[in-house]
Every structure is written in structure tokens, then in C-alpha cells.
Structure 1
Amino acid sequence: MTGKSDGPRRGAGEVLVLLRRHYFWIHMSVQSVCAACFLAGSVLTLFETTKAAAPWIYLFGSLTFAALPAIRLLNRRAKSVRSSPKED
């Protein structure tokens, strides 16, 4: 075994173009996870038996929310990669 993959490998530019192509759905999915976490955390605080789990759900929602600017920056980077001429 040589450690090399037999299949095609994607370069960083190809990954960014793939992100650009699916940006809307990625962004909406992350926002939906954020909303679900904050809603679940709010409901969990209502019951004494689940109050301990609520801060962890809020924390996960906050981290997911913090990922949105990174996704937006990657999308802008993908725009610039796509618009720049390819070097041969």
C-alpha cells in the first residue's frame, strides 16, 4: 500500500467552487441548526430535569452561529477563485 488514493483528489479551488455552488443550502442548514438549538435550549430550561442540558445546547447553537461568518468568508473566497483566470 503506497498511501495514495486511487480516486481523483479535489484541490482547494475545487472545494471552494463546490462550496460556492451549494452556499445557499449550506448557509440555510447552519442557520436552521442554530435556530433549533436555541429553541431546544429554551424548552429545556422550562423543566427541572433537563435544566442541566440546556446550557450545552445553547453552547452548541452559539458555536454553530459563530460558523456563519466563516462560511460567508469562504463563499467570498470561492467567488474570487472562480473569477480569477486559470494558470496553465
Structure 2
Amino acid sequence: MLELRPNCECCDCDLPPESPLARICSFECTFCASCSEQKLGGLCPNCGGELMVRPRRPGNKLADNPPSTVRVNKPQGCSTGREG
């Protein structure tokens, strides 16, 4: 089951479970749409995998299957030289 991590690893912005702005790779590294597109060129800086829109868990399933509360922040990993 997806962890649904609560924040962007680059800029640390909040990404609640219902956010359409969350992007993940196959290892569930999590980024916001802005960092994914503008800083990372759609590729995970950790594994090189493609960043895709994170699926949203239906609200009625969150009580029994809560999102993660563990924040991961690695801003140094977001300086990949892909910027503009």
C-alpha cells in the first residue's frame, strides 16, 4: 500500500492525501508538481525514475488506511542541474 507521504522532499510543502499536486516515483519518493516539473524535469533525483501523479486514496478509506506522518526532506538532492 502506498505510504502517501505528507510533503515534497525538495521544498517541504504539504501534500495532503487528496492533493492532485503530488508526484511519486516507483519507490514512492514524493515531490510537488512544481519541483517535479521545474527543478527535476520529471525525474526522481534519488533513483532516476519517472515522476507520476500520485494516486489519491478515497476519503472513506483514510481512517483505516491513514497516510504517513513521516516527513522526508532532502533539498540538497534537488539541485540536479536540470534547472532552467
Query: TM-score w.r.t. structure 2 length?
Result: 0.26
Query: TM-score w.r.t. structure 1 length?
Result: 0.25
Of Structure 1 and Structure 2, the greater strand share is in: 2
Of Structure 1 and Structure 2, the greater helix share is in: 1
